[in-house]
Structure 1
């Protein structure tokens, strides 16, 4: 059974359209091993998920700063930690990031970026990459009351695009994000460039490919064509 053709796409940003690996050098400049970058990111996601699951606020920046202090034994805190978090807004997108957004727009769908990172950072990245004009809405998960993979952020992205959740598709490199989108009633396309194999614990995607742009195309290829009324 094929899917309805998406009326909206909601793209994850960090690790999906924007690689985080350059942040390793910011940590090295702060005097800690570069390998702690991935540990930091996983730690901040864990903390944000836990705070949201417990029903409390989870503002991105304080969570990110706290996680960085925790995993470095408070070697990176204060201004040094702020510099690492600020560097998120200066990252470079994947070479095919704009192509993925254009492919979604070319299908006639509206396009949102939905991320657990704060909206200001997301907008700065899109502007810097020259992609802001390809995006109709930026949705920060925190103000919805929970981080992804809770249902509220996905449904907020659909609303921001004026689409029903069932007519909205998430594009992400995270298995947990696919699982959350599916549980919220959205479709999901998974790019394998980050995890390589889809995590067995989660509900699988509706389409998968090696890159975000190819994942968009794969989802569109599996969807029903537009039906004239």
Structure 2
């Protein structure tokens, strides 16, 4: 799976679920009169809404898709849906994020985040986890009105970082994100144990994978130098 792949100069990380625990959004659903148990359905529907829009050439931001999905799944009024969406600013990193970041930093590999989510979410979570200094930049494809897994999002990120696609790796807890990055020419890493227990076997497999971000990072660093 790693044939022809070399150690990346830049590693981009997905944000929601991959880096940041979205449990506070579930708590917000409960506070607004729904249930935290609805969170997986709401989050999945938000992604479906965005993917469907992208497929037909429409664009709207993640927050709009998420609020619409809260309403669809729970029936909550619009003001409550907005308050649930506000909880994305309260997320914190998973425990394996800091050691993975520090391993990359020690190895001289640059770190960025790449989301199609709302601006400010990654920054707030990284600040809460004390990780801001380890991240070179936070990117959201809202800047180019695109949704991952469209290849333009990954190519744009590589361009912003000044590297060729093959010099960048994308690490995510979502199989669809890994698929999109791989099709754009990036090296890919998948971490299991978040919302997906195994990688979707119908997709092109990731170049590396592991049960934690640390395992994924170690596998990327074990690739031969360019």
TM-score range, shorter chain: over 0.9
Inter-partner Cα distance in structure 2 for 1:161 and 1:103: 20
Q: Which residue of 2 aligns with 1:214?
A: 215
Aligned with 2:9 (options 7, 10, 14): 7
Q: What's the C-alpha RMSD, in Å, of the aligned pairs?
A: 1.4
Q: Which residue of 1 aligns with 2:201?
A: 200
- State the number of aligned residues: 223
Task: Report whether the alignment pairs 1:47 with 2:49.
Answer: yes
Inter-partner Cα distance in structure 2 for 1:54 and 1:145: 14
Runs of 4+ displaced beyond 4 Å: none
TM-score, structure 1 as length reference: 0.92
1:44-94 CA distances to partner (integer Å, 9 max, x unpaired)? Answer: 111111112211222122221111111112x2421x222211111111211
1:190-228 CA distances to partner (integer Å, 9 max, x unpaired)? Answer: 11112121111111111111111211111211x1135xx
- CA offset at residue 21 of structure 1? 2.7
- CA offset at residue 118 of structure 1? 1.3
Inter-partner Cα distance in structure 2 for 1:41 and 1:93: 18
- CA offset at residue 110 of structure 1? 1.7
**Is 123-132 or 42-51 further displaced after alignment?**
123-132
Structure 1, unaligned stretches of length 5 or more?
Answer: none
Inter-partner Cα distance in structure 1 for 2:100 and 2:43: 24
Q: Which residue of 2 aligns with 1:89?
A: 89
1:158-178 CA distances to partner (integer Å, 9 max, x unpaired)? Answer: 122221111100011111111
Inter-partner Cα distance in structure 2 for 1:157 and 1:98: 22
| Paired residues of 1:17 and 1:94 also in contact (CA < 8 A) | yes
Structure 2, unaligned stretches of length 5 or more?
Answer: none
Inter-partner Cα distance in structure 2 for 1:99 and 1:89: 23
SS in 2 for 1:22: helix
Task: Report whether the alignment pairs 1:224 with 2:190.
Answer: no
Q: Which residue of 1 aligns with 2:111?
A: 111
Structure 1 residues 44 and 119, CA gap change in structure 2 (3 angstroms): same
| Paired residues of 1:91 and 1:125 also in contact (CA < 8 A) | yes
**Is 174-183 or 29-38 further displaced after alignment?**
29-38
Inter-partner Cα distance in structure 1 for 2:118 and 2:155: 17
| Paired residues of 1:2 and 1:224 also in contact (CA < 8 A) | no
